[in-house]
Chain A
């Protein structure tokens, strides 16, 4: 069965520091992978997605992620964190082939806190 693991429940970084959020997936075929961000009480906003092709994916707000098949990972990075980046980050894998519908399976999330 497909699953997503985000090993870090909570991360705190200083503003201006670099960031890496970890994500590992379990999926039999080529995965469709996503990173979403959620501010408190809000919906989810897509940061970036990987379907195929270049394994380094650029997203919005200066985020990027690298797909590594050998490590079953899709880690999210940002070179310099801003205070407004404080939020919950979800990694997700899409089950595209079970009935053809887009079922997103989310990881447990990583809560990012940013110190000034």
Chain B
């Protein structure tokens, strides 16, 4: 079945870059998403990438997609304390139902 995996924790110092990784199994994925969730809040879409792209950059965020290895990463440049949150990757396949499969989430802690 479909499965999306992420490492559970990441700790970085303020000003450094953060790289959050995600692996997925559904090769028919069309869109891949990165969401941010702060404590007690809903999900905020950060960025998404279409499956025929290798890279997408949006200000401090860079998404890299290796479709062969089914590996997705999110790089946050100049990480700030306000970036501390849980980050979820999600994939959407060709199922026609628009269902998302969410990753397990990576808790990012930014140290001042």
A binds B: no
